[in-house]
Amino acid sequence: MAIVHVTRLSHDLTTAGVAIVSVNQDGIVEPASLQATADPIIAAFDDSLAAQTAFENTEARDRATDDIDNNKSGVYKSLRSAAAIMVDELNFLRDDVVGVASQTWDPANMANAAGVTSPNFTVTGAAFGDVVHPIAPYTLAGIIATAYVSAANTAVIRLHNGTGAAVNLASGSWSVQVIRHTVLSPRTMAQAKTAMQNKINAGDVD
């Protein structure tokens, strides 16, 4: 049976270290002295359309990766500069996270219209004005959970029971996440273009 995907077979042979000059649809290689070395690879060759499609997809992915990483044309430099600006923005958002802390807490039984406050969570850098998110380890069954900075480097969770009946939550690992929102004006398109140009001029995307 003739080999359909000869180009891929040639690729597989050379990748395996068989330094052929060519191979034809009958699996005959040049130089002939390499035939015996090539035969096991040819016998195992998957000539199916599925294997060819997978090969072409891999080749296309590798070319695209190389273009993104190394192509010096204006289009790809622009793409890399845009990606660099997005990374800057994401890193800025990450800086908004002051810290996260966790501890085991077994909230006391809460009568209706009553509440409890957690032990202190130590979050280095937490300050008044920061936003604190409480993270519960299970369903709260109608209990309202809020959290706030109670002192420098310290946050607490406050639970309130408005369900109409007493609730006793189980022990679990509770967490708080402290966020500090920096108020910035929206970036204009002109500013984005300038930032991209600065990346290119600085050689950050070469």
**HEC profile for 189-206?**
HHHHHHHHHHHHHCCCCC
pLDDT attached to residue 82? 85
What pTM, to 2 d.p., does this model score? 0.54
Instruction: Count Cα atoms within 13 angstroms, Cβ side, for 83.
Output: 11
pLDDT attached to residue 13? 95
pLDDT attached to residue 73? 83
pLDDT attached to residue 1? 63
Which residues of the chain have a pLDDT value below 50? none
Strand 29-30 and strand 22-23: pairing? antiparallel
pLDDT attached to residue 112? 96
CB atoms within 10 A of CB 177: 19
pLDDT attached to residue 86? 83
CA 27 – CA 128 distance, rounded (Å):
76
Q: What DSSP string runs through the chain? A: ---S-HHHHHHHHHHTT---SEE-TT--EESGGGHHHHHHHHHH---SHHHHHHHHHHHHHHHHHHHHHH--SHHHHHHHHHHHHHHHHHHHHHHTEEEEEEEEE-PPPB-TT-EEEPPPEE-TT--TT-EEEEE-SS--TT-EEEEEEEETTEEEEEEE--SSS-B-PPPEEEEEEEE-PPP-PPPPHHHHHHHHHHHHHTTTT-
> Measured in Å, how far apart are the chain's first and last C-alpha atoms?
49
CA 200 to each of CA 40, 76, 84, 141: distance values in angstroms, whole numbers, following the listed order: 50, 11, 10, 54
